[in-house]
A and B are shown apart, each in its own frame.
Chain A
Amino acid sequence: MFAGREVGTLRSMFTTPSALVGVVVLATVVVCAIFADVISPVDPAQQHLLYRLSPPGTVSEDGVTFVLGTDGLGRDVLSGIIHGSRVSLIVAVTAVGLGMLIGVALGLVSGYSGGWLDTVIMRAVDVTIVLPFMLMALVLRLALGPGLGSIVIALGISGWATHARLVRGEVLSLRNKEYVLASVANGAPHGFIMLRRILPHVLASAIVLASLQVGVTIVAEASLTFLGLGVPPEIPSWGQMLANGRDYMTRAWWVTTFSGLAIVLTVLALNLIGDWLCDYRDPRLER
């Protein structure tokens, strides 16, 4: 269905300004996350107690510039944001990957096998989808207990149903294509047909959906962390910075403002890329 269009992908990206902006911003965030130790001006955990709540641009006596100011314990906000990008990206990407894995697998089985299995899986999809993402993630996180692993699983499982529904729909239309029927006639096993004949064709849409989910997941993770139910406080994260900054928000606007801006820019970049992928690869997904 998409064959032959891949060639133009890169060119299309460079002719869509919004997509290009998204790619540049996202690349910057990814570079920050990978090289956080090299890039960040100071150790994000180091407390400059003499310079608590210093406004952006303050220069300390020993020559350290706090470009985006410091927080209530004198920690550098810019360094915190750079290090925080790690956990935001890793949690969101792993969670979306997990949801995609579960959703694609179940959607594939559901659409291919039909019958009672299809009914059971689709009923589960209906119930999961009716509950908003945030609520589902919150309940799962409560059940799984605190910790980085449980927040990833909670966010991941909350996102499986959309994938399952999308993939099932595609499988239903692919199942009766001639090349699939030919495979069946040749006596190919079901697993082979599902994985080698059908899966490659549904993967493109699943990836587009996943790209749109990453942004939503970053926001959900930050929200849960902000509420004290997400990433553990000892790991530097944007949600945690926002929660801390809230306590002295009236005296030091920069802590909440800049850590929130980091989330907005990252999610904006992801959405711009996702929208472009959506328009370019699969107009049906657009809503």
Chain B
Amino acid sequence: MRAGLVVLRRLGETLLTVFLMVTIVFFLLRVVGDPAELLVAPEATHADLDKLRAQLGLDRPLLEQYVDYMRSVVTFDFGRSLTQNRGAGELVGEAVRPTLELTGLALLIGVPVSIILGSIAALRRGGIVDTVTTAFATLGRAMPSFWLGLMLIITVAVGLRWLPASGYGTFQQLILPSVTLSMIVIADVTRLTRSSLLEAYGNDYVRTAYAKGAGPARVTWFHVFRNAMVPVITIIGLRTAVLISGSIVVESVFAVPGLGWLLIRAINRFDFPVVQATIILIGFLVIATSLLVDIAYVLIDPRSRSVRRA
């Protein structure tokens, strides 16, 4: 009952955030920037620019444009692509699947690996696994994902010829980009799992559990682990949002036809409606992810139902 109310409230907040995000994107691209400038070749004249503005309706009053734009966004009408004779919404819709597959697989790889590595590091504190894992995580945090991707292409795809270097369609082609992307998760979550477990071991309830006769295995799995995972889930959620934006670069490296690849291609081809639609959809996915994480939070941790998050 209470959980339902909290979820409903978060849903309302999310809608407001989406609305604000779309508004910000509108004003940034239309007011700070000039879509017409993005669209024409550098050698275009002022007359060309004015003609294009009139054609796109950019010469109308701003408020009118804004209302129009909001109305079309609500109906998922993002206008037509300027380079392909198709709707921008249609193009974006096709690109969602590769991006979701990529981020999904990256999570499937990244989350178990980091929780296992982080747990071993915490349970064998100061041991070899701990040292190696910590060094690995520190290095991972410093590594730009596109560079890791390029290195994997050079070694695994070109050198060893184990996996294809780029493209999309087969499962093999998804492996290298997902592994690259999963590093974003592994670097942070491993570290946090380790510190969170160590912190949880210091709690009073651990001593109580031991006093009541629970064995080390029971204490670790039933008491420590469950509590330690709460902050870990938060970070996984936050990282998932970063994964979606990180896929912009990784998709470009591996030529995966997802949202990021579409966005960069549309930018290079001055295809403004597609650029706008892609940015809004990526923003929407990110916001939706954080909503899902919050809902998961409410279901897992009863405390978050009454206490408002800071």
Contacts and interface: CB of A to CB of B under 8 A. Distances in A.
A127 B150 contact: no
Interface of B: 17, 20-21, 24-25, 28-29, 32-33, 37-38, 138-139, 141-147, 150-151, 153-154, 158, 192, 195, 235, 241-242, 244-246, 248-249, 252-253, 263-264, 267-268, 275, 279, 282-283, 286-287, 290
A210 interface: no
Given A215-B142, A229-B267, A260-B147, A134 B248 contact: yes
A39 interface: no
B32 A257 contact: no
Given A145-B33, A226-B249, A228-B268, A131 B142 contact: no
Nearest to A132: B245
A127 B249 contact: no
15 contacts: A127-B17, A131-B21, A133-B245, A138-B248, A142-B29, A144-B32, A222-B147, A226-B146, A227-B252, A249-B150, A250-B154, A257-B154, A263-B147, A264-B143, A264-B144
Given A132-B241, A134-B246, A143-B32, 5 more contacts: A127-B17, A134-B245, A139-B28, A140-B32, A267-B142
B29 A143 contact: yes
Interface in A149-164: none
B286 A139 contact: no
A52 interface: no
B142 A264 contact: yes
Contacts of B268: 228
Contacts of A134: 242, 245-246, 248-249
A131 B286 contact: yes
Contacts of A40: none
A135 B154 contact: no
A58 interface: no
**Main SS class of interface, A:** helix
**Main SS class of interface, B:** helix
Contact of A253 (B38, B154, B245): B154
Given A142-B38, A143-B28, A223 B150 contact: no
A229 B260 CA distance: 13
Contacts of A228: 264, 268
A133 B235 CA distance: 15
Interface residues of A, number: 41
A142 B26 CA distance: 12
Contacts of A106: none
A249 B153 contact: yes
Contact of B154 (A126, A131, A256): A256
Nearest to B248: A134
Given A134-B246, A215-B142, A139 B279 contact: yes
A271 B25 CA distance: 32
Contacts of B242: 132-134
A242 interface: yes
A89 interface: no
A146 to B, nearest CB: 10
Contacts of A265: 142
Interface in A99-134: 123, 126-127, 130-134
A55 to B, nearest CB: 14
Nearest 3 Cβ contacts at the A-B interface: A143-B33, A260-B147, A132-B245
A30 interface: no
Contacts of B147: 222, 242, 256, 260, 263-264
A237 B29 CA distance: 27
